[in-house]
Amino acid sequence: MDRLEASLPRVAARRAAVGGLLENRDALGWAMVAPALLLLGAFLAYPFLLGVWLSFTDSRIADPGRFVGLENFRYLVGDGVFRLAVLNTLLYAGVAVVVKFVLGFALALLVDREFRGKRFVRAAMLLPWIVPTSLSALVFYWIYDSQFSVLTWVLREVGLVDRSINYLGDPNLARASLIAANVWRGVPFFAIGLLAGLQTVPRELYEAAAMDGAGPWARFRWITWPLLVPVAVVVTVFSTIMTVGDFQLIWIVTKGGPANATHLFGTLAYQRAVQGGFLGEGAAVAVFVLPVLVACVALAYRALRRED
C-alpha cells in the first residue's frame, strides 16, 4: 500500500510531462514527422549520401577502398565511353522529352473534347504507361530484331524497303530506335498530365473569350497556355528526370551497345559498378547526373510554388 502511494506522484509527473509535450506545438510537430524523417533518412538520404561518398573512393565490391578525391571524376572526363554516354543521355532525353511533350499535348487537346467513347479512349491511352517497362522493352527488342522485325516485314510488304533494317547494329539507328520506344512509353504521361491541367481551366473563360470574338488560336494562346504552363513545367521536369535515369529499356534492348553507342548514365554506372566491380567509378558516373537532376527539381519546385 505504501509502495503504491509512493509511486502515484511519479505516475502523475510522467503524465504531466507527456501532457506538456502534447501541448508543445514544436515538440508535437517533431514527434509527428519523426517516423517519416526516419524512413526518408534510412531509405533515401543514407543511400544517396553513401553513393556520393563512394564516388570519392576507389571502392570495389567487398573492398571499402580509400578516399581518392576527384580522381574518379577526373578520369571520367577523359574517358571516351563516358563522354559518349553523356552525349547519348543528352540526345536521348532532349529529343525524347520534346517529342513526348508535343505528341502528349496534341493527344491531351484531342481527348479534352467531347466525343463518343471518350472515357474508353482516355483509359486506353494509358496502356503504354502502365505496361511494365521490362515487358514493353522486350516487345521492342523483337520489333527491332535485325532478322525478324515485324516493322521491317510491314515495310517490305508495302514495298518501302527491300532488305532487313539494321535497327540496333548501326549506332545512330540504334539511338533513334530507343528514342522512339521511349516516346511510345512516355507520351501517355504527358497526355494525362496535361489533360488534367486542361480540365482545370474554367470553361467560363472560353465562353467569355468566344463572346469577345476570340478564335481557337487566340483562346489557346491567351487562356489555355498561360494557365497550363505550371502543369506543363512540372510534367516536363518529371519526365526529364525519368528519361535521364532510364535503364530498363536500354539494358534489355541493347545493353548499351553497339560498341557503347546507346549507353546512358544508368547503364554505364551499372556496368562499371556492379558488373565490373568498381563501385567508386560507377558511383561517380551516377553522381555526374546530379547537377542535371537538381536543376530539374529546382525548376519543378519553382513552378509548384508559383502555382500555389
Partner 1 sequence: MRHRSERVTRRRFLKDTARAASALALSAWGLEAGRKASDAQELTFPVERGASLRVLRWSQFVTTDRPIFEENAARFTQRTGVPVRVEYETWTDVQPKAAAAANVGSGPDIVIGFFDEPHLWADKLVPVTDLAQYLGRKYGGWFDVCPQYGYSPQRNAWIAIPIGAPGVALNYRISWVREAGFDPDPARFPKTTDEFLRLCRALKARGHPTGFALGKAVGDGNTWVHWCLWAFGGRAVAPDNRTITINSPETANALEYARALYETMIPGVAGWLDPHNNRAFLAGEISLTNNGISIYFAAKNDFPEIARDMNHAFFPVGPVGRPTELHLFSQAYIFNYTRYPNAAKEFLRWIMEDTQYGRWINGMLGYVSHPLKAYTGLAVWRADPKHLPFRDAVARMLPHSYAGRPGPEAARALAEFVIVDMFADACTGRRSVRDAIRAAEDRLRRIYRS
DSSP code string of 165-191: --TTTSHHHHHHHHHHHHHHHHHHHHH
Q: At closest approach, how far in Å is the CB of 76 from partner 1?
A: 10
Min separation Cβ 139 and partner 1, Å: 15
Instruction: Give the angle subtended at the CA of 268 by the CAs of 263 and 274, to the nearest 5°.
Output: 145
Cβ proximity to partner 1, 65 vs 245, nearer residue? 65
Minimum distance, C-beta of residue 29 to partner 1, in the bound complex (Å) = 36
Longest CA–CA span in the chain (Å) reads: 102
Kindly tell me which of 60 and 156 has the beta carbon lying closer to partner 1.
60
At closest approach, how far in Å is the CB of 88 from partner 1? 14
Closer residue to partner 1 (CB): 101 or 278: 278
Overall size of the chain counted in residues: 308
Considering beta carbons, is residue 149 or 236 the nearer one to partner 1?
149
* Dist. CA 198–CA 235, nearest whole Å: 13
Closer CB to partner 1, residue 142 or residue 225?
142
Q: What angle do CA 272, 277, 279 make, to 5 degrees?
A: 70
For 22, the enclosing helix (H) or strand (E) is helix 2-23
- How near is the Cβ of 254 to partner 1 at its closest, in Å? 7
Sign of CA dihedral 15, 19, 22, 27: negative
> Which residues are within 8 A (CB) of 280 and not within 5 positions of it... i.e. 6 or more apart?
54, 55, 56, 57, 58, 59, 60, 65, 68, 72
Residue 132: CB minimum distance to partner 1, A: 17
Q: Which is nearer to partner 1, 256 or 266 (CB)?
A: 256
Nine-digit cell string for 308: 500555389
Give residues in contact with partner 1 (CB under 8 A). 58, 60-62, 75, 79-81, 144-148, 163-164, 166-171, 174, 254-260, 271-272, 274-278, 281
* CB of 306 vs partner 1, minimal distance in Å: 43
Distance, CA of 104 to CA of 194 (rounded, Å):
8
Q: Which is nearer to partner 1, 239 or 271 (CB)?
A: 271
CB of 183 to partner 1, least distance (A): 20
Cα separation, 246 vs 136, in Å, equals 14
Question: Is 163 or 305 the residue whose CB approaches partner 1 more closely?
Answer: 163
Give helix then strand counts, H and E, for the chain.
Answer: 17, 0
